[in-house]
Amino acid sequence: MGEPTDTWFVREILAHEQALMRFLHRNWRDHDEVGDLRQEIYVRVYEAAMRQPPDSPKSFLFATARNLLADRVRRQRIVSITAVGDLEQLNVLQDELEPARWLGGREALARLARALDRLPRRCREVVWLRRVEDLPQREIARRLGISEKTVEKHIAKGTRMMADHFYGGSEAGAKRDETQKTHARIRKTT
């Protein structure tokens, strides 16, 4: 992955995933769709950046998110009152850390440790042996008395969970915002 856009994406965009997820959970009624929304936002951001990297990645990311939600709302012809309100004010996010700080500091290590702790027992063990003790998959299989295929599966699963917890943060998919309960839906007249 030597593409400049790849590096840019990892450094400038993924660092804001937690804020993005919080935003999506707050502003989108159907939480099952949040993962797909995130994916589509990333696709739009990545494709735009290939043509021209935006000056302010974070504002661009949230502008893209807002546009996407607006598109969806229009398509569904259903609008959530709270959503419209929140879409206008994104300054909630200003307390977020800058990417360099976010990725470099102690906070990041703490997030990693917490993410690891949320893996299932075997999966956690496999990820630890592979990433920290740097043992090859084959050796891990031997040591734990499981097949190499199983180790590979744990690694695939571990990677996905680590990404969700590390980038997405604790609330990703877990807690629902209280305001969701009070959401009202109205039908657009047009």
Partner 1 sequence: MTEDHREIERTAAAWLAQRDAGGWSDCRQNALDAWLAESTAHRVAFLRLEAAWEETARLRTFAAGDASARMPARGEWSRSPYFASPIDGGHAAARHGRASPARRRRSRWQVLAGIAATLLIVVAIAGAFAWRDYAHVERGAWRTTPGVQQVVQLPDGSAATLGGDTVLRMTFSHSGRDLELAQGEVFFDVAHDTARPFVVRVNGYRVTAVGTRFDVRRGTDKLRVVVTRGLVRLQSARDPAAAATMLPAGSIATVTGGDVLVQHIPLDEARERLGWRDGYAVFHGTPLAEAIEEFNRYNARKIVIADPSLDALRVGGHFRLDNSAAFVRLMQAVFPIQAEQRGDRIVLSRRGAAKAAN
**Residues near 182 by Cβ (< 8 Å), separated by ≥ 6?**
82
Does residue 11 contact residue 103 with C-beta atoms inside 8 Å? yes
**Least Å distance between CB 100 and partner 1?**
5
Does residue 29 contact residue 80 with C-beta atoms inside 8 Å? yes
User: Closest Cα partner for 47 from 34, 60, 35, 56?
Assistant: 60
Name which of 114 and 185 has its Cβ closer to partner 1: 114
**Residues near 19 by Cβ (< 8 Å), separated by ≥ 6?**
93, 96
CA distances from 164 to 146, 153, 173 (A): 26, 17, 9
Name which of 15 and 87 has its Cβ closer to partner 1: 15
Name the residues that contact partner 1, by CB under 8 A. Answer: 1-2, 6-7, 9-11, 14, 35-36, 38-40, 42-43, 46-47, 100, 103-104, 106-110, 112-114, 116-117, 124-125, 127-134, 136-138, 148, 151-153, 155-157, 159-160, 162-163, 166-167, 170
Name which of 81 and 107 has its Cβ closer to partner 1: 107
**Least Å distance between CB 162 and partner 1?**
5
Name which of 128 and 146 has its Cβ closer to partner 1: 128
